[in-house]
Structure 1
Amino acid sequence: MNAYDDYSALIFDLDGTLLDSMPAHYQAWQQTADEYGFEVDLDWYHSRAGSPTLLTAKVLVEKLGLDVEPKTLADRKNAIFNGMADMDVMVLPAAEIARHYHGKKPMAVGTGTLTEIAEKLLRKAGLLELFDVIVGADQVDNPKPAPDTFLKCASLMGAEKARCVVFEDAVFGIEAAKAAGMDVVDVTDRQHA
C-alpha cells in the first residue's frame, strides 16, 4: 500500500471510484427522461461516465432535439438525485487508499457531481473527514474532461500538479488528469480484475 508514498498529494474521483453511485445517477436520469418524454440508453449513459450533469444535459438536448434548456434538465436530474442521496451506496476499494493516507498526505475529491451532493454522499459513506478539499463541477468553469477540476484540487491543497496522482474510473476523468499533467491510476483495472 506504499505505492503512492512518492506523491505529495492524492486526488480521487467520486462516482465509480470511491462510491458505487453510478446506478443511482442513471436512475435519476431515467426519472428525468420519463418526465420530459425521452429515453436514456444505459450503454450511452455509461459512455458519459465522468461527465458533469450539465454537460450530459447539453448533449442530450442537442442529440435528441429536446425543447428544454439544458440547465433546466440538469437541475431536475440533480434534484432527483439529491433526493436519493440518503440511500446507502457501496464504498469501493479505492477508499482504502484514502484511509491509508489520511493524516499523512493532503487529499482531495475532484468530481463531476455538484459539491453539495458530493459532500452529502461522502458524509453518508463515512468518508468525508478523510479529505481536505472537495471540488465539484459547480466550482469550475470547465469541468472534466478539461483539467480544471484537478488543477483546482492541487491549488487548494498547495500541491504541485506534477506531484499529484489522480484515481479515476472514467475516460473523461482520465483525460482530465492527463491534461492537468498528473499521473493517473485507472481504478477499474483493480476493481474488475
Structure 2
Amino acid sequence: MYDRYDGLIFDMDGTILDTEPTHRKAWHQVLTKYGMRFDEQAMVALNGSPTWRIAQTVIELNNATLDPHQLAAEKTAAVRAMLLDDVRPLPLIEVVKTWYGRRPMAVGTGSESALADALLSQLGIRHYFDAVVAADHVTHHKPAPDTFLRCAELMGVAPEKCVVFEDADFGLQAARLAGMDAVDVRLL
C-alpha cells in the first residue's frame, strides 16, 4: 500500500505510542498544584504543538502569570516519571515493523528529544527509525512543515516522496504544507 513512497514519517504521541492518557494525567497533576484547570477538548486541539506552547495557552486561559517554559518543564518531568512505566506501542507499530529495512523511516514529534529518545529506546523501537526530529530540533513547530521537512532531509528523501502518519490536525496540516501525503490514523 505504501510502495509508491520512498520514505515514511510517523508522529509519535497518539500515532505509534499510546501516550495521550499519560500526558493528560501529567497536565492535571502539574496544573492542580497551581490551582489551574484545562479543557480536554482545547488540549486535543493543540495536539502536535510543543509543550511550552500548550503551557502558554493554559496559562492564558487561566489568567495566570507563570512562565510557560517553566510550566512545560514541570509537565515534561511529570510525564517522564509516568511514561516509562505506562506507555505501550499502538497497532500502527506493525506498519513500522513491516517497512523496516525496506524504506527509510523517521519520527517527527512535538515532544522534546530527550523524552522521545527515552520512550523509543525504552520500548525497544528506536532502531527502526533513521531519524527522530523533535520540538527542540526545529524553530517552527507543527502546523509549520519544518519538522517533517527535516525528517525528509535526514532520511535523504524528497518531501513529495514521503508519507506522514499523524493523529492531529496540526500534524496533518504540517504534512500538507511540506508537500507530503498524509494518513490520518484516527480514520484507520
TM-score by length of 1: 0.94
**2:142 maps to what in 1?**
144
Deviation per CA, 1:30-50: give whole Å up to 9, x if none.
111012220122222222222
Could you list the per-position Cα deviations for residues 83-114 of structure 1 after superposition, in whole angstroms to 9, with x for gaps in the alignment? Answer: 22221323112111110110111100000001
Aligned match of 1:14 in 8, 12, 20?
A: 12
Q: Which residue of 1 aligns with 2:156?
A: 158
TM-fit CA distance, 1:126: 2.1
Listed as ranges, the matches of 1:34-49 within 5 Å are 34-49=32-47
Map 1:117-132 onto structure 2 (within 5 A).
Answer: 117-132=115-130
Q: Helix, strand or coil: the match of 1:119?
A: helix
The aligned counterpart of 1:95 is 93
Question: Matches of residues 64-83 of structure 1 in structure 2 within 5 Å?
Answer: 64-83=62-81
* Structure-2 separation of matches of 1:121 and 1:130: 13
CA distance in 1, matches of 2:6, 2:35: 48
Alignment coverage as a number of residue pairs: 188
Structure 2, unaligned stretches of length 5 or more?
A: none
Identity of aligned residues (%): 46
SS at 2:17 equivalent: coil
Q: Kindly indicate whether the alpha-carbon contact (under 8 Å) linking 2:22 and 2:86 is maintained by their aligned counterparts in 1.
A: no
CA distance in 1, matches of 2:178, 2:60: 28
Distance in 2 between residues matched to 1:136 and 1:183, nearest whole Å: 20
1:106-165 Cα deviation digits (max 9, x unpaired): 100000001111111112222111101001101100111111100110111111000000
* Structure 2 Cα separation of the partners of residues 156 and 68 of structure 1: 36
**Conserved in 1, the CA contact under 8 Å of 2:11 and 2:166?**
yes
2-structure distance, mates of 1:40, 1:125: 30
| Gapped regions of structure 1 (runs ≥ 5) | none
Q: TM-score, normalised by structure 2?
A: 0.96
Q: Does 1:113 align with 2:84?
A: no
Structure 2 contact 37–62 (Cα < 8 Å) conserved:
no
Kindly provide the amino acid, as one letter, of the partner of residue 85 in structure 2: M
SS in 2 for 1:85: helix
Structure 1 residue 29, shift from structure 2 partner: 0.6
AA in 1 matched with 2:163: V
After TM superposition, what 4+ stretches of structure 1 lie above 3 angstroms from structure 2? none
Q: Supply the RMSD in Å over aligned alpha carbons.
A: 1.1
Question: What does residue 4 of structure 1 align with?
Answer: 2
